Every structure is written in C-alpha cells, then in structure tokens.
C-alpha cells in the first residue's frame, strides 16, 4: 500500500475539491499517482470541479491587463454562475492572473479542443520531418511525434495547458479547477484577445 503524504492529499484536494478522506483513499487506491487519483475521484463522482463542469456559467467579468508601458494588452472573458461570485476578490484576482498569463506566455487558444485540426496536422508533419532528420528509427517516429505534441505543442499554445507563471508546478487549467472548488461554481475561460504593439505591421 502506498505511503500517502499529507502534502499529496492537500494537492489533490485543491485540484478536485473532493473531501480529505476521499482524496487519501484515491491516492491509496492508485499507488500515490495523483493523475490516476484525479481520474479515480471523477469515476466515483467525488471531484467537485467535475460535478460543476456541466453547469451553465453565464455571469463573470471581462478582465484587462496592460504590460510593458502599453506595448502588450490583453482582454479576457471569464465566466462563472452568479454575479455574486463574479464580484468577489478571489474571482477577480483569478481573472487578473489569467490576463497576466496571456500577456506573458502568448497562448493562441484557450484549450486543445479549440485548436483546428489542420493546425495540429501541420505541426505533426513538421515534428515528423524533424524527428526523421534526427535519425530516429521509423517505427519510433509516430510515438515520438505524439509525445512532442503533448509536451511541446499543446502546452505552448493552449492557455489551460501552460504552466502557471506564478506557480509552474501547476497548469492554468489546474488553477481554474482549484478556484472552482474554492468558490463552489463552474468557471469557464470563454475567450481572450492579445495585442502586441506593431504586431503584423510589416504585413500591411
């Protein structure tokens, strides 16, 4: 039986909003593997963030952030279920953090489901050609390419998969889930736009 540390239990609880004993049991059942423990809690219907994910989030705020003396600007729409939560300091701090994340890390999409299939396929072709040039064996190429898509592509261009700039140990998606558990409402990053001074000017 895996020895489950209190820190691991706390981490799982923050990510899922499940009870402490449920988190401990999930980690025990999965040998201390936190990702498998998250899945275990989902399957048992104990992950609070997952329970709330299907609920309508039509309130919220549009946050903004201006960086580098006006050289970079961000607008982001983040939705929750009630105006009450939208007006809380915790929710508004989350929106500011998300706007700062977008300014700093320049994602192109909110989540991987938003990435057009043709963009993924083009990246896959580039990675395949690069991997073959590296001399990797043909039967390993596809596996290496998919691994690089996961580790290098999605977490570079998808906001929710990027490491959170203030705490790289968690992703932005995990940050949002922690706030779902904390505030008790579904939270959805709906859309964003990032402006950078002079961007695209050479194409005019």
Question: Model confidence over 98-135: pLDDT tens digits?
Answer: 999 999 999 999 999 999 999 999 999 999 898 888 88
CB 45 within 8 A of CB 165: no
Domains in the chain: how many in total?
Answer: 3
- Residue 89's pLDDT band (cuts 50, 70, 90): very high
Which structural domain, as residue segments, surrounds residue 152?
116-157
Q: Please indicate, yes or no, whether residues 65 and 106 belong to a single structural domain of this protein.
A: yes
CB 181 within 8 A of CB 17: yes
The CA distance from 78 to 97, in Å, is 11
The CA distance from 2 to 11, in Å, is 16
Q: Please indicate, yes or no, whether residues 23 and 92 belong to a single structural domain of this protein.
A: no
Q: Please indicate, yes or no, whether residues 69 and 93 belong to a single structural domain of this protein.
A: yes
CB 104 within 8 A of CB 165: yes
List the beta bridge partners of residue 38.
none
pLDDT at 37 over 60: yes
Q: Please indicate, yes or no, whether residues 162 and 65 belong to a single structural domain of this protein.
A: yes
| CATH number of the domain that residue 36 is part of | 1.10.8.10
Q: Please indicate, yes or no, whether residues 105 and 193 belong to a single structural domain of this protein.
A: yes
Total-model pTM: 0.69
Q: Please indicate, yes or no, whether residues 106 and 177 belong to a single structural domain of this protein.
A: yes
């Amino acid at each position: 039986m895996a020895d489950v540390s209190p820190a691991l239990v706390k981490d799982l609880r923050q990510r899922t909003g499940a009870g402490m004993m449920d988190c401990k049991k999930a980690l025990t059942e999965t040998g201390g593997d936190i990702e498998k423990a998250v899945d275990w809690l989902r399957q048992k219907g104990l992950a609070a963030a997952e329970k709330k994910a299907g609920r309508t989030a039509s309130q919220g705020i549009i946050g903004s952030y201006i960086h580098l003396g006006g050289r970079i600007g961000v607008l982001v729409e983040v939705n929750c279920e009630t105006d009450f939560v939208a007006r809380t300091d915790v929710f508004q701090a989350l929106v500011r953090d998300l706007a700062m994340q977008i300014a700093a890390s320049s994602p192109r999409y909110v989540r991987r489901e938003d990435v057009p299939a043709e963009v993924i396929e083009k990246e896959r072709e580039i990675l395949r050609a690069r991997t073959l040039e590296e001399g990797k064996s043909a039967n390993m190429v596809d596996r290496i390419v998919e691994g690089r898509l996961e580790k290098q592509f999605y977490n570079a261009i998808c906001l929710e998969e990027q490491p959170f700039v203030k705490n790289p140990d968690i992703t932005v998606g995990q940050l949002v889930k922690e706030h779902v558990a904390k505030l008790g409402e579904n939270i959805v990053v709906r859309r964003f736009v990032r402006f950078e001074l002079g961007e695209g000017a050479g194409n005019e």
